[in-house]
Structure 1
Amino acid sequence: MTTKLASPKKQPKQGMLDNVMRQFDNAADIITLNPNIRKILEVTNNELVVHFPVRMDNGEVEVFTGYRVQHNNALGPYKGGLRYHETVDIDAARALAMWMTWKTSLAGLPYGGAKGGIQLDPKKYSDTELERITRRFTYALGDNIGPELDIPAPDVNTNPQTMAWILDTYMSTKPPAERSTNMHVVTGKPIGAGGSEGRDRATGYGVFLTIKFWAERKNVELKDKKFIVQGFGNVGYWTSHFLEKEGAVLTAVQDASGTILNENGISAEGLLAFSESNNRSIGGFADARPIESSEFFGLDCDIIVPAALGNQITAENAQRIKAYLIAEGANGPTDVEAEKILLNKGIEIIPDILCNSGGVIGSYFEWLQNRNGEIWQLDEVMAKLEKKLKESFSKVMETAKSRKVDMRTAAFIIAIERLEKAYVQRGIFP
């Protein structure tokens, strides 16, 4: 689960959708994508908007708006997270669903792409209210989700508990004989509710692995390299945890509560313990000093890990970036104009659809285990995850070299070509 950042700069409503479309168009032009298939991939398959009432703890009823956008399922069931955040709207869901299609295709998974969530600030609600909101949203989605149709997962401000509520609600709508065969309707569940070992760290471990693979190719030692992280949720913490084990030094972190800096290093474990006792907030952490949030991206460091929300690295702050590598733990954290600036400065970007794909790969492993009645051990899950990510990373680097393009364009080319091949071989239903 990622975390929103402090005082986010207001973005245009079309920001993320515009970004993903421009990224798609760029790659589609390079490969001269079949124009008929291009028309299909430019639009979503299905878009669901639901308004549903929920009784609050004080007895009053509040009406919420939920979204589920299913972009494409040519390669398999729709797959993608559900987020609880004030920025959730139909355009954000469209953009994120498209990114999921490219992400699952790039990873070679038998999935399509979907995304959704509820427009709310979860900090304003009690746990019992969030449970009722989640269950009512699941009921409103009805048969639009399913283990072989559309498989949600955790995202911003949702977690294994959220998935357990969805699972229980969904199963309660099925006949008793079918309930045991529907465990894989969601992934990212608690271990006791059919979750997989390692799913909690899969996204952050994947971010770390792609950084490690990049460093190996560039003959760069990670030991003593300084990195900064935006967002200290699940992705930010686990990325920091694994980078620290390689000897890299976390020097700054930013989240909704502010930005903290310690040039000598911030302990990821210490910061996690503090944030868990401080309402998942880093504000007030004693072993680092607070700084202006506007200074974050311009800090002296080697690696930046944006693991918060989309459109955070913009044309306004890209000029100040001193790092030589950006590893996108979040979805769409770098806008198109900022990317041009960064690439011109020689800064490399490990794109989101590769960098944070460990989460959906881990979800696939959980789905497989539920589907086949298997239980894998942690070391087996992590080894499979590393193997899968290494294959994807190598393909992206080889395509970038052969096509003479940046890593994001290479990743999009691989993802789109796989979908194009599927449509060419299957044809279009008349």
Structure 2
Amino acid sequence: MITKTKKIKRVLKQGMLDNVMRQFDNAADIIDLNPNIRKILEVTNNELVVHFPVRMDNGEVQVFTGYRVQHNNALGPYKGGLRYHPTVDIDAAKALAMWMTWKTSLANLPYGGAKGGIQLDPSKYSQSELERITRRFTYALGDNIGPELDIPAPDVNTNSQTMAWILDTYMSTKSPSERSTNLHVVTGKPLGAGGSEGRDRATGFGVFLSIKFWAEHRNINLKNKRFIVQGFGNVGYWTAYFMEKEGAKLVAVQDAKASIYEEDGIAVEPLFEYASANGNSVSGFSGAREIHDDDFFGLDCDIIIPAALGNQITAKNAPKIKARLIAEGANGPTDVEAEEILLKREIEIIPDILCNSGGVIGSYFEWLQNRNGEIWSLEKVMEKLEEKLKESFGKVIQTSEERRMDMRTAAFVIAIERLERTYVQRGIFP
């Protein structure tokens, strides 16, 4: 019997790297990218695989495999999350690292792209085991990460506590005089450990803002618009939170354990409180009824927000979609074949490298504050985040309309052209 997790892992392995390469090739062909620069951008700079032993609570030793892929640093230090999930492998890390390069370039940040994580199901380990796993992984990465080299952040199944463990472990390997200058080795930290106000909601707020800017551009009022969310973790929750405040109506949620639906709407806060007390799952929530997972994307709604894993919208379920807009809160949730189907049906997609870029922008703000010894208010962070995202969205919409291309292609074109200019101006050593 193939479990749901194994099915997801098989789909990811078959498609994520292929998807990002096809997206890159499409944009590179359109702009006639310099062939020498193309050779550089289509491969990663560094790929690190580490195997490390950790003693479990029962005294037994288990060996874990961790990954860190650094795709490109032409624009600045590598930047990207660490995820703890059974689907983590070298190909997934390569695909996600490439997406991070395009994302940071599009947002006009001084960063390159990286990604990584550990291949495990964190629900099977205690908090103390996860701490030892994280610290041992950090030690194994050694000087391959650093505040001016490669700056990890939270991703799927990692959080501010994970970042605090990484920070503490990394700083413990430095001399006393160096420790005060290494606070920005990771972002997404708890406030007491140098984190930033607003970083917890930055990605979800960015997804909401992307939808809001799209609606304003299309002269659409979001009030009473029906939306569904796949994944109700940090990104899904905060997106739904801000959408509800705007007057939109959450009608369905899907996570790894269940899909729930309520035509009259699901209250976001009660659902979040229930899920938090129910193993981070919406399964069994009394305010909605459970539906079959395969029916989720075909529900009657205006907006779909995939905020879980990659390759969730495929050629199999794309024809069933009734929504007018897909806002990609996750990385790579729509595969290439599905996108072709959706665009032919005039369903718009706000691409991941634009839509969920609020997270890395928020990370940049945290990094700046640590670097400069500053502490910004929540209001300042949110204001600057909105300003930055509005600028990125405006560039994508303008490029899309002027060059008559979909938003993903426009976003890739902007990102790749920035990198091309950098290589042309700097030259290539030697």
Q: Shared topology, TM-score over 0.5?
A: yes
Alignment map for 1:236-247 (pairs within 5 Å): 236-247=236-247
Matched, 1:42 2:78: no
RMSD, aligned CA: 1.1
Structure 2 runs not aligned, ≥5 long: none
- SS of 1:11's equivalent in the other structure is helix
Amino acid at match of 2:295: E
- 2:133 is matched with 133
Matched, 1:117 2:117: yes
Deviation of the 1:279 alpha carbon = 1.1
Deviation of the 1:257 alpha carbon = 1.2
Aligned partners of 1:277 and 1:396: how far apart in 2?
40
Alignment map for 1:252-331 (pairs within 5 Å): 252-331=252-331
Aligned partners of 2:13 and 2:161: how far apart in 1?
30
Aligned partners of 1:383 and 1:44: how far apart in 2?
34
Matched, 1:390 2:390: yes
Amino acid at match of 2:340: K
Aligned partners of 2:5 and 2:66: how far apart in 1?
22
- SS of 2:69's equivalent in the other structure is strand
Aligned partners of 2:374 and 2:22: how far apart in 1?
41
Amino acid at match of 1:295: D
- 2:178 is matched with 178
Aligned partners of 1:5 and 1:261: how far apart in 2?
22
Count of residue pairs the alignment pairs up: 427
- 2:28 is matched with 28
Aligned partners of 2:12 and 2:115: how far apart in 1?
20
* Cα distance change of structure 1 residues 64 and 9 upon mapping to structure 2, 3 Å threshold: closer
| TM superposition score normalised by structure 2 | 0.98
Identical pairs, percent: 80
Aligned partners of 1:218 and 1:152: how far apart in 2?
36
The higher-RCO structure (CA 8 Å, 6+ apart) is: 1
Aligned partners of 2:29 and 2:384: how far apart in 1?
34
> Given that residues 7 and 256 in structure 1 are in contact (C-alpha distance below 8 angstroms), is that contact kept between their aligned partners in structure 2?
no
- SS of 1:298's equivalent in the other structure is coil
> Given that residues 6 and 255 in structure 1 are in contact (C-alpha distance below 8 angstroms), is that contact kept between their aligned partners in structure 2?
no
Aligned partners of 1:217 and 1:8: how far apart in 2?
35
Alignment map for 1:14-413 (pairs within 5 Å): 14-413=14-413
> Given that residues 79 and 113 in structure 1 are in contact (C-alpha distance below 8 angstroms), is that contact kept between their aligned partners in structure 2?
yes
Deviation of the 1:14 alpha carbon = 3.5
Aligned partners of 2:122 and 2:259: how far apart in 1?
21
Tell me which stretches of 4 or more aligned residues in structure 1 moved more than 3 Å.
4-10
- SS of 1:13's equivalent in the other structure is helix
* Cα distance change of structure 1 residues 195 and 180 upon mapping to structure 2, 3 Å threshold: same
> Given that residues 6 and 257 in structure 1 are in contact (C-alpha distance below 8 angstroms), is that contact kept between their aligned partners in structure 2?
no
> Given that residues 163 and 188 in structure 1 are in contact (C-alpha distance below 8 angstroms), is that contact kept between their aligned partners in structure 2?
yes
Amino acid at match of 2:386: E
Deviations 1:24-65 (Å, cap 9, x if unpaired)? 000000000000000000000000000000000000000000
- SS of 1:220's equivalent in the other structure is coil
| TM superposition score normalised by structure 1 | 0.98
Structure 1 runs not aligned, ≥5 long: none
* Cα distance change of structure 1 residues 231 and 146 upon mapping to structure 2, 3 Å threshold: same
- SS of 2:11's equivalent in the other structure is coil
